[in-house]
Amino acid sequence: MPRPFLIDTDTASDDAVALIMAMRAPDVQVVAITTVAGNVPVEQSTRNALYVVELCGAQVPVYAGADKPLLRPYQNATWFHGSDGLGEHGYPAPHRAAEPLHAVDAIIQTVEANPGLVIVTLAPLTNLALALAKKPSIARQVGRCVIMGGAPCCEGNVTPAAEYNIWVDPEAARMVMLSGMPIELIGWHLSRGESVLNQREIESIEAFKTKLAHFAIECNSHARRAYKIQTGEDGISLPDPIAMCLALNPSVGTSWSEHYLDVETHSDLTRGMTVVDRLNVADDERNLPVWERVIRKGNKAKICWTLDAKRWKGALFAALR
């Protein structure tokens, strides 16, 4: 029996590769893809998701969702992914259209129809927050909620304190983190260093000579240039596929631990910061009661700190061959 996955995405270059990995996984059925404004506007995100589904030859319904964050002005990441989110290579329009149902309602219906469902979020958490606000009971029906987002105990990629997906809509992220769902946080830090595809590995993927392999490299060309400007690292960094890899096989993560987790929504300096109680100071009676009260409002989440880069790349290669 295949495992049911629902994927929420702001489909740009790394999201596209993550979608391929899920749709190519032999033991997974992607039962729905929902789209949201993030890397690109929701209309472009939806078009990109439909294109990737078609490229995979899959039959997965795509539902368009929120076109802006809950409270904040919308800010895209086209500087990183290109104006179309896929590196500006002029990919054709997909033949299919999105389903008429709104993504928020699609999330509720899909969770209720698939108890124990795995939700994988690759985007700002606006859709999921709205679904939880509309039907809080779905939180208890989700088997796992794997979130690509955050910068737990390390620097962010859009501010020194925050990662883009959480920073764009911190109020939505906080709602999801406090919802009681079984959260697994896959931070941006996991896609750096040894996890980055180097030139030799990029050439190896191109040598597969499959349409999916070529697309995965080509659509990330703009992101590769932007990543080098951002970090000084040369190669293709793939945070969303890493999150998908860990959703498909958590054992690729070599260090996990469970902690209270909250999201900063008030400070301009640390907006969107994923506050992880890594040392469990909230359980230390010597600490201030106010800190204990604040952090204990939070949900405990599993945090992945490190992964096996060789196994992650092996999973990627297998999906693209």
The range of the structural domain enclosing residue 153 comes to 3-320
pLDDT at 225 over 70: yes
With CA atoms as reference, report the closest residue to 170 among 137, 134, 227, 129.
Answer: 129
What pLDDT digit, counting tens, does each position of 104-138 carry? 999 999 999 999 999 999 999 999 999 999 999 99
68-93 pLDDT, tens digit per residue, is: 999 999 999 999 999 999 999 999 99
Count of CB atoms within 10 A of residue 180's CB? Answer: 14
Q: Are 68 and 169 in contact (CB under 8 A)?
A: no
Per-residue pLDDT, 231: 96
Locate 116 and state its tokens. Answer: 């124990």
Query: CA dihedral in degrees (48, 62, 216, 123; nearest 10)?
Result: 80
C-alpha span between 193 and 227 (Å, rounded): 12
State both tokens at 69: 């964050």
Give 7-30 pLDDT, tens digit per residue: 999 999 999 999 999 999 999 999
As a whole number, mean pLDDT of residues 191-219 equals: 98
Alpha-carbon distance of 195 to 254, in angstroms, equals 13
pLDDT over 90 for what percent of the chain?
Answer: 91
Give the total number of structural domains in the chain.
1
Asked whether 178 and 129 are in contact (CB, 8 A), the reply is no
Mean pLDDT of 163-188: 97
Phi, psi dihedral angles at 64 (to 5 degrees): -80, 140
Three-state DSSP state, 150: coil
The structure tokens listed for 312 are: 């992650």
pLDDT tier at 281, thresholds 50, 70, 90: confident
CATH number for the domain spanning 210: value is 3.90.245.10
Q: pLDDT band at 279, cuts 50/70/90?
A: confident
pLDDT higher than threshold 80 for residue 289: no
According to the model, what pLDDT value does residue 280 have?
Answer: 79
**Average pLDDT over the chain, rounded to an integer:** 95
- DSSP 8-state symbol, 125: S
Tokens of 251: 């054992």
Do residues 65 and 88 lie in contact, with contact meaning Cβ atoms separated by under 8 Å? Answer: no
Quick check: 297 pLDDT over 80? no
Supply the pLDDT for residue 282.
72
State the Cα–Cα distance between residues 273 and 153, nearest whole angstrom.
9
What pLDDT was estimated at residue 286? 60
